[in-house]
Every structure is written in structure tokens, then in C-alpha cells.
Amino acid sequence: MTVQTRSITILGAGILGLWQAVTLARAGHRVRLVEASAEPFADCASILAGVMLAPEREAETAPAMLRKYSLEGVAAWRDFYPDVRANGSLVIAAARDLDELDRFSARTEGHRRVSGAELAQLEPDLAGRFGTALFFAEEAHAPAPAALAFLLSAAQEAGVEIVFGETSSGDGADIVVDCRGIAARDDLPTLRGVRGERALIRTREVSLNRPLQLLHPRLPLYIVPWDDGVYMVGATVIESEERGPVSVRSALELLGGAYAVHPAFAEAEILDLCAGVRPAFPDNVPRAVVREGGRRIFVNGAYRHGFLLGPVLARTVADYIEGKPASELLVEHGG
């Protein structure tokens, strides 16, 4: 089937907007990507992400239908981005919280229980620190800045016109794809903000090969290895749209959690403590919302799933524009 070429303006150059731009340009459309901030990712919640491509672990709290789409998302990233680190991930718990590990195991798939000895083989720096763990061998991760920069470069190579430091309504385009996150709330009244805080630390005293999730009584704590001894430690999930600095409570919980994983993190340098606001719909399911007979499509509500579902939502929008059946992540004439 011949694809009818459309002029498409995409608003917002975060993870969702970039995937839309790359996918639609590669499908043969004329794409213009407009971002309000003057510098790439300067006002983008995506840059704070851990980029854990973890469909099985996310399924522990996500609606069941998202597992299928998240698996598709991981496959898309592996095909698209050569620097995805496909080392799997680990879920660990302190000895007093092993019941939590059992419950997590019962609520998820795609893992196997490993002994302390096997854990030491997977992560030598954790030898003797935990007696058991869950190993999710098919999961992957990437540093957020590098992944976003790769997407931006891919959009440029695909012929996308990229404009920073401007706002636009998309007038004159055949289709507007609005990926502005919480800034689109006036058009999407059910959208809410969820605050997330994270720390970046650096140490040469600890070496990890894959993301760790520490089952914690108050927050989902993750430690994600980036490059050059840098680790992302996150993240809080707070029902608030406050963009202010990280609180003392959150800093203590994040950094204390890292210390609980390995005491050598106590000597790490703190490179950054920052907070952002994730957009979310009431059910925490991201989706494409079609308005104006298909002329305007809002892609929003990423919550914790922006990197996982970015490629899936882009394919969903491309299929809709081409008249193909779209996934249930698309709602026509929705609110």
C-alpha cells in the first residue's frame, strides 16, 4: 500500500516526541519537531529517567495489557539503538525483607531465583551481601543522555526539521502530534503530574554491570550503572506537581538505599540531586488521544513507561495515520 505523505508537526522533543519524529519521518512523512526549550532536553522529564527497559519488573505494578507492549518496546530499542546494555537486571532485598522478594517473585514473570553464589558471579561486588536475588535475564538499560542524543541524531538523519527555542500551534501542518507532557494539561484535563526525584553519584569503589532494584518499604529504589563510574539512584514517586529541589527526606532515602546495597557508596561523589514531573493519566497508562478528526493527536501520560513505550506509541500513531488498525493505546475522540 502506498503511504500518503503528510506534513506533520510534532510538539515536544522528549522521549515520546523524538520517537514520533524518527518513526514518522522514516515512514515517508514531512516532519517538523518543535521544542520550547532553547537547549536539547533542558526542560525534559525524560533526561531524569533511569532507562531501565524492564517490562517484566514494571508488570508488577502496571496494568496487565502493558506487559505485551513493553516487550515490543524492548525489542524495538534493541533493533534501533546499538548501545543498549542487554545484561538483564536484579531484584534484591535485605534479609528482613525476603518476604517482599517472595511476593515480588509471585507477581512477576521472566525471572529466575539465584543463590548468593550465583549472584556473586553476576555481580562480584555484591558477594556475601545478599543471600538470594531474582535475575531478569532479558531486561536491558541505557544512560538517558546518550539514548536521547542518539534519538535526536537519528531524527536529523531521517530528515526531520528540528526547531529549538520556539513554541508552535502546528498551524499549516496536516497533522499535529502533541507530545508536550504536563504542558498539554489544558487540552487533557485528566492529566496529572507525578514528581520523581533522583541522584547521580560517582564512585570507583563499586562496579555493577546491570540495574539493581532494592525492595524498600517506602519507595521503589533503583541503582542503574551509566558510564565512568556514574550511577543513577532513583526514584521517588510522589503525587505532586512541585518542581522544586529534592527534599532532605528523599535525599536520605535515596542515598541511604545505595549505602544499604554497598557501604562503599558512602564515599561516592554526589554529582546531582534533582526532581522532575512526569505526566500521567488516572490509570497510569500512556496513550495517543485523537482529536479534530485525526488532525491533532496527543501522545502523553508516559508516567514511568516513556522509554519502554515510546517506540510502541510511535508505531501506533504511524499505523493510525496510514489507516491501519491501531493498538488499544490509541483512543479516538478521547478526553
Length of the chain: 335
Please tell me whether the peptide bond between 235 and the residue prior to it is cis, using omega within 30 degrees of 0.
yes
Residue ranges of the chain that CATH labels 3.30.9.10: 89-137+192-280
What's the rounded mean pLDDT across residues 163-181?
94
pLDDT of residue 130 exceeding 70: yes
User: Would you tell me the crossing angle of helices 306-321 and 65-80 to the nearest 10 degrees?
Assistant: 90
Question: What is the Cα–Cα distance from 122 to 116, expressed in whole angstroms?
Answer: 10
H helices of 158-231, where? none
Residue type, 43: D
pLDDT of residue 243 exceeding 90: no
Question: What is the Cα–Cα distance from 20 to 10, expressed in whole angstroms?
Answer: 8
Strands (E) across 266-315 are located at 269-280, 287-291, 296-300
Q: What topology does CATH give the domain 89-137+192-280?
A: D-Amino Acid Oxidase; Chain A, domain 2 (3.30.9)
Question: Quick check: 270 and 214 in contact, CB under 8 A?
Answer: no
What's the rounded mean pLDDT across residues 91-102?
94
> 174 burial class (0-12, 13-18, 19+ CB within 10 angstroms)?
middle
What's the rounded mean pLDDT across residues 110-127?
97
Question: Quick check: 66 and 285 in contact, CB under 8 A?
Answer: yes
**DSSP assignments along 198-216, one per residue:** EEEEE-SS---SS-EEE--
Name the residue among 45, 97, 92 with its Cα closest to residue 211. 92
Residue ranges of the chain that CATH labels 3.50.50.60: 7-49+143-183+282-332
Quote the DSSP letter at residue 54: -
Q: What is the pLDDT of residues 261-310, one digit of tens each?
A: 999 999 999 999 999 999 999 999 999 999 999 999 999 999 999 999 99
Q: What is the pLDDT of residues 305-332, one digit of tens each?
A: 999 999 999 999 999 999 999 889 999 8
Question: Quick check: 23 and 150 in contact, CB under 8 A?
Answer: no
Residue with cell 530499542: 77
User: Would you tell me the crossing angle of helices 306-321 and 15-26 to the nearest 10 degrees?
Assistant: 40
pLDDT of residue 63: 86
pLDDT of residue 211 exceeding 60: yes
Q: What pTM was estimated for this model as a whole?
A: 0.95
For residue 220, what is its C-alpha cell?
521503589
Question: What is the Cα–Cα distance from 174 to 55, expressed in whole angstroms?
Answer: 34
What is the chain's mean pLDDT, rounded? 94
For residue 234, what is its C-alpha cell?
532513583
How distant, in Å, are the alpha carbons of 34, 66, 187, 252, 307 from that of 10? 6, 24, 16, 39, 17
Pairing of strands 175-178, 192-202: unpaired
Q: Check if CATH label 3.40.50.300 holds for domain 7-49+143-183+282-332.
A: no
Q: φ, ψ for residue 166 (rounded to 5)?
A: -140, 155
